[in-house]
Amino acid sequence: MQRELESLIISLRGHRVILDMDLVVIYGVTPKRLNEQVMRNKGRFPDDFMFQLDDQEVSDLWSQIATTK
């Protein structure tokens, strides 16, 4: 299980992150539900817990995903 989780970690903006699309699979919830819970429980998460990708980052990630497959 640890190796599977480690394979989901990517480096972005100098931080090691797991994308929400991977977290929803891990937790078995929808992206909407995951985001709702984070927003409702902001006090439980550090300030840098999440951030929104810009259009270029999304494009770059899709390119990387397509290349690795």
Residues 6+ apart with CB under 8 A from 9: 16, 17, 18
SS3 20: helix
pLDDT in tens, 12-63: 888 888 888 899 999 999 999 998 998 899 899 887 778 888 899 888 888 8
Q: Please report the pLDDT score of residue 24 as a whole number.
A: 93
What is the predicted pLDDT for the residue at 42? Answer: 87
Give the pLDDT of residue 31: 92
**Do residues 31 and 21 touch, judged by C-beta distance below 8 A?**
yes
Q: Which two tokens stand for residue 52?
A: 């929104």
DSSP 22-66: HHHHHHT--HHHHHHHHHHTGGGS-TTS--PPPHHHHHHHHHHHH
